Amino acid sequence: MPVSWLLSPACPWYLSALQLLVVLLCLGPGLGLGLGLGLGPGLGAGGGQWEQHSSSRCLPIPPGMALCHDIGYDTMRMPNLLGHESLGEAVQQSASWLPLLARECHPDARIFLCSLFAPICLDRFISPCRSLCESVRDSCAPIMACYGYPWPAILNCDQFPNDHLMCISSVTNKTAPSAGSHKAVPRASCRDCELEEATSAKDVLDTFCRNDFVVKVRLSRLNSSSVSLSQFTLASKVEVLKHGPLLGGEIQARLQLWLDRDATCVRNMTRRQPRGGAYLVTGNVQGERLVVNKAYSWHKRDRNLMTAARKWKRHRCRG
């Protein structure tokens, strides 16, 4: 079946991100947020229709576009759906969204953003569906508000086509959850991981008991030229008080992944120590993800925290 037929308006179906990958396999190779996105002539304000520009061309997704690394295809169409005329402009503007991507506010956020910044290079533009935009917006807008930014007007979801038209739909919404399962979508809170006060050694010990892991970490701020999504790294060996379901050899790597992903949490922890410092961190394990529930600034003057850490080895949790 020719691809031109599959992508014609008469074809009564739309593409999910996974279906796009199937097409590609058949085709072969072809927190603050600085949201300075330019709305160019490529994006129509009404009806969600995009016409292929006369000078439209297919180009490799540049290595500098970290937002769309390993998205599932290698080439993109320029100008893109945001009207960026050059790769340099697209790369620069896409970098503004990396902190939101690091926050993991929605499982399909990267698919949605890359469909605009780096449209898949087929024989016509394919936009995100309106439902995909609305789903990402509803989960991510509260996180953006933590940094003082509203959902941008250029991403008004009303401009995107309805799901019955040809567009990229949500993968998450089409996956029925299995019995007893739940989505580990980060909480839309601006207060995640704000440092706690150790009011008493007993309260701290109770916190240790309620959580899967308890670790002492020292964070060091990375220099501004680093390509990492995180602003911090683990400065020394992690001291493990409680490892729970985590294997000893994987704790360091899993904590570094947490630093890369949970931008709001790390930002709140380090607000008083922008260059980094020592912290006692407690949390739970959710699949491959660590969720930090409480964090304390570690210093020897905090007698309650020191007493709890000293007593922990001999402590017996109730129940």
Which domains does the chain possess? 3-174 (1.10.2000.10), 201-314 (2.40.50)
**Residue 80 binned pLDDT confidence (cut-offs 50, 70, 90):** very high
As a whole number of angstroms, the distance between CA 199 and CA 213 comes to 20
The pLDDT value given to residue 163: 84
Residue bearing the bigger pLDDT, 80 or 12: 80
Percent of the chain scored above 70 by pLDDT? Answer: 72
**Least confident among 42-56, 113-127, 300-314:** 42-56
User: How many other CB atoms sit within 10 Å of the CB of residue 94?
Assistant: 25
The pLDDT value given to residue 270: 87
Instruction: At 242, list the tokens.
Output: 């409680």
DSSP state string for 190-256: S-TTPPPP---HHHHHHHHHHSSEEEEEEEEEPPTT--SS-SEEE-SPPEEEE-TTS-GGGHHHHHH
pTM: 0.55
As a whole number of angstroms, the distance between CA 219 and CA 108 comes to 30
Residue 83 clears pLDDT 70, i.e. is over it: yes
16 phi, psi to nearest 5 deg: -85, 170
Hey, is 62 helix, strand or coil? coil
Residue type, 5: W
**Residue 189 binned pLDDT confidence (cut-offs 50, 70, 90):** low
Q: How far is CA 150 from CA 12, 109, 265, in A?
A: 35, 16, 20
Which of 115-129, 170-184, 225-239, 244-258 is predicted most confidently?
115-129
**Computed from CA positions of residues 122, 123, 124, 126, in that sequence, does the dihedral angle turn out positive or negative?**
negative
The pLDDT value given to residue 181: 40
Instruction: At 127, list the tokens.
Output: 């936009």
Stretch 116-132: mean pLDDT, rounded?
A: 92
Stretch 230-252: mean pLDDT, rounded?
A: 84
Residue 104 clears pLDDT 90, i.e. is over it: no
